[in-house]
Structure 1
Amino acid sequence: MKKGSKIFNVLGLMLMSTLIVSCNENISNNKNDEIKIGITLYRQDDTFISSISSNLEEISKENGDNFNKNIVLEFVDAKASTINQGNQVDKFIKQDYDVICVNLVDRTAAATIIDKAKSANIPVIFFNREPVEEDMNRWDKIYYVGAQAEQSARLQADIVAEEWLSNKNYYDKNKDGKIQYVMIEGEPGHQDTLIRTEYCIKALNEMGFQLEKLADDTANWQSDQANSKMNQWIKEFGDDIEVVFSNNDVMALGAIYAINSNSNIIRKPIVVGVDGIKEAIESIKIRDMTGTVISDANAQAQAIWDIAINLANGISLEDVIGSEREKYKKIPHTKVTIDNINELSNE
């Protein structure tokens, strides 16, 4: 998963376009003395992807000395280009990397990457953007690390339900008993966009809530796009918006900036996001954002590291993903509201 405030400046920070991390000081030219892991990212300026990368780098530094080999991680930025990403994978293959990790630009392009890696017999770990099941079944050395998207949506629904019921007279602005909402969606075609959008509403319906959608649109995980959409909706619907669902925190923060900047909003709506980034946690503390759902970037990075290192060393994956035949490692979420934020902050 960036405008006019310190929030947007933070979200604009980028990693180096290419970062090589060596875990041991003594670098050998002998391939048998090193493990090379290539990581291609759809966009390094994506806040959550940047967090996974930073955590992965830190895990590598902390654990590299546990091996009698030099561990090399190379991060490259595809800059949202499928062509760039294909060329980066080609480079990793040509340079005989041990494992390739891919944060897909386009999840429908996974088959091409898989076939290239299969021909070179180099395992691939996809993360954050899940290939379709058919592609995951193309080879037995394909893995996926991500989050439990449906759970995140259902936890969003729990946050909305709890807040709505705690102060229905405030949030039900037109007193019709329905939740009038807008939905800010992530990138079209991304599995988390599809699942989060569907199941937060489905979960509330299952709880017995009636909802009325005022508007929905994509903002591609971007804060500035969400800010623009929210400003449009405020002009159209004014104070009738009772809940803002956002597929991630970055877009939720963009919506909040629009809400706080607009005099047409008399009573602030419920706003929920996903990811649990630092800026979202701070927004909850000052009661701008109602709640978020932590998507554990560190746990995902740890899973990527564990699978990659085990594959490179020929070690069983049973302790990492449950069995040698399993291909998926999906990390659970945790919901965050003002009620538990201090407890989570102290962990």
Structure 2
Amino acid sequence: MLKLVAMTLAISIAAAGTSLAQEKKTYKIGAAVYGLKGEFMQMWAKALSAHPLVKDGTVKVTVFDGNYDALTQNNQFDTMVTQKYDGILFVPIDIEAGAAGVEKAAAAKIPVVGSNTRVNSDKLTAYVGSNDVIAGEMEAESVIKAIGGKGSVVILEGPIGQSAQIERRKGNQNVLAKYKEVKVLEMKTANWSRAEALSLMENWLTAHAGRINGIIGQNDEMALGAIEAVKAKGLDPKKIPTAGIDGVTDAVRAVKAGDMVSVLQDAAAQAQGGLDVLLRHIAGPSYQPRSAIWQKYAAQGLAWGDGTARQYDIPWTPITRENADALLAERK
């Protein structure tokens, strides 16, 4: 009889354990990103998949490639709303057009946290990213100082209408306004593309032969494309100061070689920090952040608080010959 009771109790405990495991909440999260052709957004998506709660299966993430098209992203929001996702991370291609998707999600009571690029919507739950005006100022200052505060520069812009393009241009122009002896010969979009920047720069080097003293690329891919064009013309890139933003792998190598300057935009902090904030709004006050990024940047003012702030600013890190090897080692 005692053996039978013991066996029954053991079976009951085992069944309860199985039931608890089955009841464990799994969160379905959509990550709508503007495009995955460039290395930066690939790093962002990879970092998201490395978040502790994604790795242990608590969070199931689906990354939607927006293919650099606002309508595509809007349609992807329709899919996520229809399929009842628990939350959405949003990296919009267009600061204005992206608002329509956020409105749809808000109407369905699905929280949306922005990451990396901004959207003009008061329905956005929160934003985790970096101040692109500051980055635009940093890169313009480095190029203009390198050319002695006078001369002619060209500017390669991101996709027109994306917040990073708008804010980095503002940063560029803030600095240019201080240097009356610097002339902007050309300012056009190359859509974050190395290939498009290469083509544009080839044209500019022909049209303004011998007159381009510096190159401001609003991201690394475009700066690297410009450097390729400079080298193809038989020119020394070290004599035409070039700046980018993001810290993609080839740019870090180029900084190490002395061919350009750049600042690191921390893709992991933006992606994982964004997911932590999103999960706080889904799971409630008991949620504690799992990403290490909060400790990494604590001394620079990044504070979790209770996880309900509307904006979290990830600091920029200048890339130097001294820290280039360490940054490259992190990616192995």
Common fold: TM-score over 0.5: yes
Q: Give the counterpart letter for 2:78 in structure 1.
A: D
Q: Give the counterpart letter for 2:115 in structure 1.
A: F
Larger radius of gyration: 2
- CA spacing shift, 1:190–1:86, aligned 2, 3 Å: closer
How far did residue 155 of structure 1 move?
A: 1.7
**8 A Cα contact 2:280 2:307, kept in partner:** no
**8 A Cα contact 1:42 1:78, kept in partner:** yes
**8 A Cα contact 1:293 1:333, kept in partner:** yes
User: Which one of 216, 231, 239 corresponds to residue 260 of structure 1?
Assistant: 231
How far did residue 218 of structure 1 move?
A: 0.7
Q: Does the alignment pair 1:34 with 2:34?
A: no
**8 A Cα contact 1:179 1:209, kept in partner:** no
Residues 236-260 of structure 1: CA deviation (Å, up to 9, x unaligned): 1122211100000000000000000
CA distance in 2, matches of 1:261, 1:279: 17
Q: Does the alignment pair 1:225 with 2:196?
A: yes
Q: Does the alignment pair 1:189 with 2:177?
A: no
Q: Give the counterpart letter for 1:293 in structure 2.
A: V
- CA spacing shift, 1:81–1:199, aligned 2, 3 Å: closer
- The runs of 5 or more residues in structure 1 that have no matched partner are 1-25, 169-176
- CA spacing shift, 1:29–1:117, aligned 2, 3 Å: farther
- CA spacing shift, 1:300–1:159, aligned 2, 3 Å: same
How far did residue 329 of structure 1 move?
A: 1.8
User: Which one of 92, 104, 114 corresponds to residue 116 of structure 1?
Assistant: 104
CA distance in 2, matches of 1:247, 1:78: 20
Aligned to 1:174: none
CA distance in 1, matches of 2:127, 2:266: 15
RMSD of aligned residue pairs (Cα, Å): 2.9
Task: Give the structure-1-normalised TM-score.
Answer: 0.77
Matches within 5 A, 1:232-251: 232-251=203-222
User: Which one of 42, 46, 58 corresponds to residue 38 of structure 2?
Assistant: 46
How far did residue 161 of structure 1 move?
A: 4.7
**8 A Cα contact 2:251 2:262, kept in partner:** yes
Higher deviation after alignment, 79-88 or 231-240 = 79-88
How far did residue 106 of structure 1 move?
A: 2.7
How far did residue 114 of structure 1 move?
A: 2.2
CA distance in 1, matches of 2:211, 2:35: 36
User: Which one of 321, 325, 329 corresponds to residue 312 of structure 2?
Assistant: 329
Aligned to 1:284: 255
CA distance in 1, matches of 2:305, 2:184: 41
CA distance in 2, matches of 1:54, 1:263: 37
Q: SS of the residue aligned with 2:279?
A: helix
Aligned to 2:133: 150
CA distance in 2, matches of 1:100, 1:333: 25
Q: Give the counterpart letter for 2:224 in structure 1.
A: L
Q: Give the counterpart letter for 1:231 in structure 2.
A: E
- CA spacing shift, 1:105–1:342, aligned 2, 3 Å: closer
Aligned to 2:91: 103
CA distance in 2, matches of 1:266, 1:315: 52
CA distance in 2, matches of 1:211, 1:316: 54
Higher deviation after alignment, 114-123 or 150-159 = 150-159
Residues 218-238 of structure 1: CA deviation (Å, up to 9, x unaligned): 101011110011000100112
CA distance in 2, matches of 1:340, 1:161: 23
The number of residues matched between the two structures is 299
User: Which one of 178, 186, 202 corresponds to residue 150 of structure 2?
Assistant: 178
User: Which one of 125, 150, 153 corresponds to residue 113 of structure 2?
Assistant: 125
Residues 198-233 of structure 1: CA deviation (Å, up to 9, x unaligned): 323422543x56211111111010111100110001
- CA spacing shift, 1:84–1:210, aligned 2, 3 Å: same
User: Which one of 167, 186, 192 corresponds to residue 215 of structure 1?
Assistant: 186
How far did residue 312 of structure 1 move?
A: 2.4
Residues 260-316 of structure 1: CA deviation (Å, up to 9, x unaligned): 000366973000000011110111222222x00111111112211211222221137
CA distance in 1, matches of 2:284, 2:259: 49
Task: Give the structure-2-normalised TM-score.
Answer: 0.80
